Structure 1
């Protein structure tokens, strides 16, 4: 194999994102690639950049199939599919195993294994940081829409419990997005990831304050 692993993985991954919705499309994969390498710049230990970049491109190739119910676990399916793709291209087995581990451990779900390599921790952190900050707010709102579409009914409402009123709902409200972000912020592994997460959280905290002001029209200045 003469082609570098990162660009190779990019080319292999892109067709899988053709049917992806915005929260997990190729633009998300590209941002995770960039963000994970940015975090790697702040690490004192040596990072296998080719493994990290390849895993970033391939980590969500199973998302479209999971969304439509064709597979149950996009982490495990993606790892197996990535192995097959990379083997066909003659990638060394140790590189493939490293990429597979990153993919298998990138989710926050309780069934996911813990990352055991620095590259896996960096991929996990970059993916979780995509749920925090301005981009995170847009992506999480997209996910609420996805889940509403899958269920055929509203998954959450755009409202807040902090403002009194006569309209109430049994569905989750804007607090859900805060909880999702806090859960991911608490789960970050690396020091560079936690520093960036803290910065992005400050923006989100300001956003939620402004959101409450706008919902409470009498209090908005």
Structure 2
């Protein structure tokens, strides 16, 4: 894999992550890059790994601005932003368009277009896999915390402090993490990602089973 485009993309992307919160910081981008290349090695057919790695570094550069309300859609914003960034780096129009497609389609939002190229599908899958498994549970909890901080609503409550001590795992607070992980598992496009996702889901299921056993008035652990 030629590191030319990906190394330039990394250098361009890092300043954008300086104001990022942990769930969408440069370390997340790096994990997504590593996962995407891991998946790429296990798919049938050619993959432009340099382009894929570049898109992974750039995919969340708009997250800090989205968090503060300065942009509505960080994927679409990033696609516009890299048009200028990569054009000044001498990137050809077809490769620029391919990166932009990856950025526009990496989100799981219902209004996001579907990824069509293999690079876009691999980026989407790698991004979703970083929200499944042990790391994924931590990231999803961080995202819930971010939303709680922005809205002022306590949306990450673990336990019910009322007199009844009602277990909250069936309520939106904790079950939201399970729902988000499951949603990402079912959205995966490529077969290697689906295999890895199924393996990571086993940990998620075990985690929530243990969670249920630890919390509430009838806790068994």
**What TM-score, normalized to structure 2?**
0.93
2:23 paired residue number: 23
Q: Determine helix, strand or coil for the equivalent of 2:106.
A: coil
Residues 115 and 216 from structure 1, CA distance in 2 versus in 1: closer, same or farther, beyond 3 angstroms? same
CA contact (8 A) 1:24 1:60 kept: yes
**For residue 41 of structure 2, what is the aligned residue in structure 1?**
41
Structure 1: how far apart are the matches of 2:97 and 2:88?
14
Deviations 1:146-182 (A, max 9, x none): 001111221232149xxx8347799722111110011
- Secondary structure of 2:61's aligned partner: coil
Once the two structures are superposed, residues 42-79 of structure 1 have per-residue CA deviations (whole angstroms, 9 ceiling, x without a partner) of: 11111001110000000000000000000111010001
1:89 match? 89
Aligned 1:197-216 pairs, distance under 5 A:
197-216=197-216
Q: What corresponds to 2:54 in structure 1?
A: 54
Shift in alpha-carbon separation, 1:166–1:188, aligned structure 2, 3 A: closer
Between stretches 202-211 and 2-11, larger displacement belongs to 2-11
Alignment of 1:3-22 (within 5 A): 4-22=4-22
Does the 8 A contact of 1:36 with 1:52 survive in 2?
Answer: yes
Partner of 2:63: 63
Give the Cα–Cα distance (whole angstroms) in 2 for the partners of residues 95 and 112 of structure 1.
21
The answer to whether the 8 Å contact 2:165/2:217 transfers is no
Q: Find the residue that maps to 1:173 and give its secondary structure.
A: helix
Q: CA RMSD in A?
A: 2.0
* SS state at 1:94 partner: helix
Runs of 4+ in 1 over 4 A off after TM superposition: 166-171
Instruction: Give the Å deviation of 1:218.
Output: 3.7
Larger deviation: 146-155 or 58-67? 146-155
1:160-179 alignment, distance < 5 Å: 165-166=165-166, 172-179=172-179
For the structure 1 residues 99 and 166, does the alpha-carbon distance in structure 2 shift closer, same or farther, using more than 3 Å as the test?
A: closer
Check 1:92–1:26 CA distance in 2 against 1; reply closer, same or farther (3 A cut): same
1:8-43: per-residue Cα shift (whole Å, max 9, x none)? 000000000000000000000000000000000111
| Partner of residue 191, structure 2 | 191
**Would you say the 8 A contact 2:169–2:212 is kept in 1?**
no
Normalising by structure 1, we get a TM-score of 0.93
92-101 or 164-173: bigger deviation = 164-173
- For the residue of structure 1 that corresponds to 2:113, the secondary structure is coil
* Unaligned residue ranges in structure 2 (runs of 5+): none
What CA distance in whole angstroms lies between the structure 2 residues aligned with 1:30 and 1:61? 12
SS of 1:27's equivalent in the other structure is helix
